[in-house]
Amino acid sequence: MDKLVITGGKRIEGEITAAGSKNSSLPIIAATLLSGSGTFRLHRIPDLKDIATFRQLLGHLGAETAFEDNTLTVSTARVESVLAPYELVKKMRASIYVLGPLLARFGHARVSLPGGCAFGPRPIDLHLMAMEKLGAKITIETGFIDAVAEHGRLRGAEIDFPVTSVGATGNVLMAAVLAEGTTTITNAAAEPEIEALCQFLRAMGAEIEGVGTTTLTIRGRESLRHVEFENIFDRIEAGTILAAAAITGGSVTIRGVIASHMEAVLRKFAEAGCRVDTTEDSVTLQSTGRLTATSIAAEPFPAFPTDMQAQWMALMTQAEGTSEITDHVYHERFNHIPELNRLGAHIEIDGNRALVHGPQALSGTKVMSTDLRASACLVLAGLVADGATEVLRVYHLDRGYERIEERLRSLGAKIRREKYSEFG
Ligand code: UD1
């Protein structure tokens, strides 16, 4: 296995271009299943484990893919299978994204049930409820979701989500664009990644209104076409790099961003005492040498994202005062707290909120990452900890950050990747 060894105390300084978004790539790649017309060319796709897993999944279904220089080409003309096997779904929950497009194009899908995850139960009931509304008959047996369009083709419906779900919104969108008639989704997720999916589907010929809002209206089409498309930037990777500059007292400019996708996070950086400047496609953060405790509550977009909650907590260990961190999306997403405390942080859990008392000097040791963003949080802590921090089980990080150690090194961090064995 790989670990990252970080020697703290170096400032993060310089310029970097934002990577492509993981969370928009996944539904966009799944959406290629909607059309067998030709070869898709998708640009700015990050080179990540999850993307490789998704390629494997598409390959299993019969699609042909190639990946070079962050451009993914996909041809789904020869897709024959509608079965997403356990071995791939268990590696990546986002495999559930093939349910909507397979069902819409072939009238049938069989997708293994995803298991739990490191930060609590993550149900898929909303995905299934929505597919049923669109006219799918769903049975669950031997660990598989078996979905069949009862009339051969899905039918438009009114879908009101009781909880905002990025995944369920994306799945319904992909199902509804080929359904007969009109579908309306209320309380839809308005995350930039869903907006990007809508733009992609529109480019394919889909009719979607309300893009970027929480009410989406989709008029189903008979067929869609293949396209060339440029993916959006990864607002979570960008936010993590800004946090790296903020926690080390440095300064960084990230190019290739859309600042409005990061507004809630940028406001918090400013509130915490950092200088933040934006242009149309760049963001610059400069440390003022002082961080003030700043509370956050993670909620659906446009509020502060749950995927930045752990990184924010790392930052707050260095801030003056007590900050309160609440996660309303995933109440149990606090696996990073015991590890941060092992590095010397003083964080208490009180129900679904964490109280971070700062500033605390951190000192390097071995820490274990348990999920993607928790790992990013530990890397940030390592950047400011005294001595060497070893972040074990880096495979979590590799699911969502492209060449993280190279990118941080290019900004001045002292960080290297090493092999190790967990058995001695
Ligand atoms: C996506 C992101 C993930 C992010 C999350 C919230 C991808 C690949 N992953 O995950 O990084 O943390 O959005 O922004 O894009 N829920 C249900 N039933 C369902 C589905 C969800 O109750 O059927 C609940 C979840 O338990 C959670 C909330 O809805 O409390 C939001 O989850 P959701 O937006 O669906 O997360 P994902 O799409 O899985």
Full domain range(s) for residue 189: 22-230
Which atom of ligand 1 lies at the shortest distance from residue 166's CA? 34
3 state DSSP class of 314: helix
DSSP 326-375: EESS-TT--THHHHHHHTT-EEEEETTEEEEEE----B--EEE--SHHHH
Ligand 1 centre from 186 Cα, in Å?
16
- Does residue 302 have a cis peptide bond before it, meaning omega lies within 30 degrees of 0? yes
pLDDT higher than 80, residue 131: yes
Q: What is the pLDDT of residue 423?
A: 79
Catalytic annotation present for 198: no
- Considering only CA atoms, which residue is closest to atom 19 of ligand 1? 124
Q: What is the largest CA-CA distance in the chain?
A: 64
Q: What is the CATH classification number for the domain harbouring 91? A: 3.65.10.10
pLDDT in tens, 308-331: 999 999 999 999 999 999 999 998
For residues 89 and 225, membership in a common domain is answered with yes
Residues 127 and 259 occupy one common structural domain: no
pLDDT at 118: 62
Q: Do residues 39 and 77 both lie within one domain?
A: yes
Decide: residue 1, CB within 10 A, 0-12 exposed, 13-18 middle, 19+ buried.
Answer: exposed
Amino acid (one-letter) located at 105: R
Assigned domain for 8 exists: yes
**Same domain? 138 vs 114:** yes
Quote the ligand 1 centre to 400 CA distance (angstroms).
16
The answer as to whether 128 is a domain residue is: yes
Segment 139-168, tens digit of pLDDT:
999 999 999 999 899 999 999 999 999 999
* pLDDT over 90 percentage in the chain: 93
Mean local confidence (pLDDT), 379-385: 98
| Residue 361 is assigned to a structural domain of this protein | yes
SS3 151: coil
If pLDDT is split at 50, 70 and 90, which confidence band does 332 have?
confident
Pairing of strands 13-17, 251-255: parallel
Residue 322 lies in a domain: yes
d(CA 301, CA 158) in angstroms, rounded, equals 22
Tell me which residue has tokens 């909620």.
Answer: 299
Domain finish residue from 171, 196, 230: 230
Please give the distance, rounded to the nearest whole angstrom, from the Cα atom of residue 164 to the centre of ligand 1.
Answer: 8
Q: What is the mean pLDDT of the chain?
A: 96
Q: Are residues 157 and 282 located together in one domain of the fold?
A: no
**Are the beta carbons of 313 and 343 closer than 8 angstroms?**
no
- Give the pLDDT confidence of 251-305 residue by residue, as tens digits: 999 999 999 999 999 999 999 999 999 999 999 999 999 999 999 999 999 999 9
In the predicted model, what is the mean pLDDT of residues 359-374?
A: 94
The answer to whether position 424 is within a domain reads no
How many domains is the chain built from? 2
Are the C-beta atoms of residues 327 and 309 closer than 8 Å to each other? yes
| Cα distances (Å, whole numbers) of residue 324 to 52, 313, 327, 391 | 37, 9, 10, 25
Q: Which of 92, 10, 93, 77 is nearest to 39 (CA)?
A: 77
pTM over 0.95: yes
The CA distance from 244 to 311, in Å, is 9
